[in-house]
Amino acid sequence: MSIELHCPSCQKLIRAPDDAGGKHGKCPSCKQTLYIPTPVSDDDIIPLAPLDSEDEQRAEKLHESAVYFAKVVSEQEGDTGDTESAPAGRGARASAAGEVVDLGALVTKFVVMMKESNLEEAERVVARLQKAGVRARDHVEGLFLDQMPPKIKDVPPQLVKGFLKALLDRLS
């Protein structure tokens, strides 16, 4: 059996003997020096974990909810898809009690309170978001599914995603 690789310089397919693995050689075509990797044995291959159908279904539901949420927001606000001209109060919604709630500001406040370990204030924010009902959950799902989480002060994106996931669990 031989080791197959492509020359990084000329992209030609090269076949090298197994005993050349881990050494340097020259491409027979362009004479570029290249590293020949060691062959991979069956013992080195780690199989992928099987797909969890429940996780797949949950992810599909979250995706469908995010698409629905985006459609509803676009229809309600006449959104043209131009983020530069979007209204400033985009996250503002009326709660069930008729009180206007800025969902974006509350979610941002929740993330900041969690970062600062101010759990009491974070709980108060969760309570206000829970009063907003389905709209708050839809808003958080939309943020959670974004490729890039919203930039919130000095909170790392991975931490923002983690806090959004925790908030989503609390709102579900």
pLDDT at 35: 92
Is residue 10 within 8 Å of 29, Cβ to Cβ? yes
Question: Binning pLDDT at 50, 70 and 90, where does residue 89 land?
Answer: very low
The pTM assigned to this predicted structure is 0.44
Measure Cα distances from 57 to 38, 60, 61, 83 in Å.
40, 5, 6, 30
pLDDT at 23: 92
Angle at which helices 103-115 and 134-145 pack, to 10 degrees? 70
DSSP H or E segment with residue 24: strand 23-26
The residue ranking higher by pLDDT, 141 or 152, is 141
pLDDT at 12: 92
Cα gap 72→76, rounded to integer Å: 6
